[in-house]
Amino acid sequence: MLTKADDYPIHQLPIPVSEVGSERNFYDRYFFNGYNQEGDIFFAVALCLYPNLNIMDGSFVFVYEGIQHNYRYSRILDQERLNTKVGALEVQVIEPLKELRVCVEDKEKNFFVDLTFNSRFEAMQEPRMTMKSGPRITMDSTRLTQHGRWKGKIGFQEEQIIIEPETYMGSRDRSWGIRPVGLPDSQPLSPAQIPQFYWLWCPANFREFASHTFFVDDEKGNPISSHAVIQRKQTNVLVNLSKEVIYKPGTRRISKATFVAESPDGTQVKTIIEPKYNMFMCGLGYMHPEWGHGHFKGENESHYDFYDLKSDPHDPPFLHIQAISKIQIIEEGTTTEGCGVLEQLLIGRHKPSNFQDILDLAK
C-alpha cells in the first residue's frame, strides 16, 4: 500500500514504506519525559505504531501533587505512518534530531498540552538489543536517546503550568524493531520457561552536561548489554562499567544505586542514584492488561485513569517504573548534582540480587 511516506527518499527495501516484513510484533515508538529541578512535577509521553497490527496508540502521563494522571488514546493506523496523531495526542517533528513538539487537546477531560522539546546534545545510538527465547527472537530493537529542555504550557483542569527551559529538562528516545506487543503469543515455546528480565535505564541532566547509563543482565548477573556515556561538547563513551544496588526490604524497588565507570582517559566516573518517588509505566501502556501496547481498542478510543503515588502495588502491571531521582556524579573529587530517572523492570531470577523466582522480593 502506497502512503505519504513513499514520497520521501527514506526507503530501505524495494517495497512501500508501509511494509515492514512479516513480523507481527514490529513497532516504532516515540518516548519523552520531562521534570522540573525539584522533580515534583513530572510528565511522560509515549506514541507508537504497529504496522502489521494496523494500530497506533499513545499516552500522556502527568504527575502533579502526588497523583499520576494517565490520558490514553488508541486508533486504527490505516497504514499511514506519517500521521503521528492519535486521539487528542500528537507528536510533531519540527527539525529531526533537534526539535519536536508534543500536543494534547482533550476538551472532554479538560487537559491541554503544548510543549516543545529542544535538544541539549546530539542524539546517541544505543547498542542494538537482541534477545531470544530458545530459537525465537523476542526482542530486536534499535534506540536513540537524547537529552533536552522543554518549553510550553500544560493546562490541567483550571490550572495552567508554564514550562520554562531554564527549569524543565528531560530526555527522549526513539526505538523501533521487534518486541512483544498486542495479545500474547497463543503458542509460546515449549517447555514453559520462567520469564527473566533485569533492566536499568538511567538518563540524567545536569546544568552543564548530561549522562546516560543502562544495564541488561541475565539471571546470573552477567551483562547481556550495557552502555554509559557522558555528554558535554562531545559524547564520551565510558568503559569498565559496574554497579552496586540496594533494594528496599520487601520489594524489588531500588533505594540506592551506584554505577562506576571510566572515561577514555582513565578517570573514574561514579554515579549515585537516590530515587524520590515512582512513576508507573503502565500509565503509558507498558504491561497494562487492558490498554497495553498494540491492543485493539476500537476505531478511535480514549480513556483516563489515575494512580495515587502514595501506594505502590507490586502486582505485574506495576513492576515497570521510572523512579524520579536525585543523581550525583563524582569525577576527580568533584560532585555535581542533577536530576533524572532510574527506569526499572526486574522480573525473574537475578543471582546478585538474591532473586530466585519470578517475583520474590528483597529481604
Burial class, 317, CB count within 10 angstroms (exposed 0-12 / middle 13-18 / buried 19+): middle
Looking at the domain assignment, is residue 273 inside a domain? Answer: yes
Judged against a pLDDT cut of 90, whether residue 169 lies above it is answered with yes
Looking at the domain assignment, is residue 32 inside a domain? Answer: yes
Q: Which residue has the cell 527465547?
A: 133
Mean pLDDT to the nearest integer, 112-128: 96
Look at the chain and report how many structural domains it folds into: 1
Phi-psi sector, 17: left (phi>0), alpha (psi -120 to 50), beta: alpha
Q: How far apart are the first and last CA of the chain?
A: 55
- 336 touches 329 (CB < 8 A): yes
pLDDT band at 250 (very low <50, low <70, confident <90, very high): very high
- 139 touches 131 (CB < 8 A): yes
Taking residue 72's Cβ as centre, other Cβ atoms within 10 Å add up to: 25
- 112 touches 69 (CB < 8 A): no
- DSSP, res 135: T
Q: pTM for the whole thing?
A: 0.96
- 285 touches 72 (CB < 8 A): yes
Which pLDDT belongs to residue 282?
98
Which pLDDT belongs to residue 237?
95
Which among 99, 75, 76 is positioned nearest to 89, based on CA atoms?
75
User: Alpha carbon 192 to chain centroid distance?
Assistant: 28
Looking at the domain assignment, is residue 213 inside a domain? Answer: yes
Which pLDDT belongs to residue 186?
84
Looking at the domain assignment, is residue 255 inside a domain? Answer: yes
Q: What is the CATH number of the domain that holds 77?
A: 2.40.370.10
Looking at the domain assignment, is residue 359 inside a domain? Answer: no
- Phi, psi (degrees; rounded to nearest 5) at 101: -125, 140
Cell of 74: 488508541
Which pLDDT belongs to residue 319?
96
Mean pLDDT to the nearest integer, 162-184: 96
Distances (CA, A) of 51 to 44, 97, 129, 130, 185: 23, 23, 20, 20, 18
Looking at the domain assignment, is residue 143 inside a domain? Answer: yes
Least confident of 135-139, 162-166, 199-203, 280-284: 135-139
Which among 76, 75, 58 is positioned nearest to 113, based on CA atoms?
58
Looking at the domain assignment, is residue 363 inside a domain? Answer: no
Distances (CA, A) of 352 to 31, 198, 220, 238, 357: 30, 11, 7, 23, 13
User: Alpha carbon 111 to chain centroid distance?
Assistant: 22
- Phi, psi (degrees; rounded to nearest 5) at 40: -85, -15
Which pLDDT belongs to residue 135?
87
- 337 touches 206 (CB < 8 A): yes
- 3 three-class SS: coil
Judged against a pLDDT cut of 90, whether residue 328 lies above it is answered with yes
CA distance 282 to 316: 10
Name the residue range of residue 76's domain. Answer: 4-353
Least confident of 17-26, 54-63, 132-141, 254-263: 132-141
Judged against a pLDDT cut of 90, whether residue 215 lies above it is answered with yes
Looking at the domain assignment, is residue 358 inside a domain? Answer: no
Give every CB contact of residue 202 below 8 A, 6+ residues apart in sequence: 211, 212, 213, 214, 257, 259, 271, 273, 325, 327, 340, 341, 342, 343
- 27 touches 50 (CB < 8 A): yes
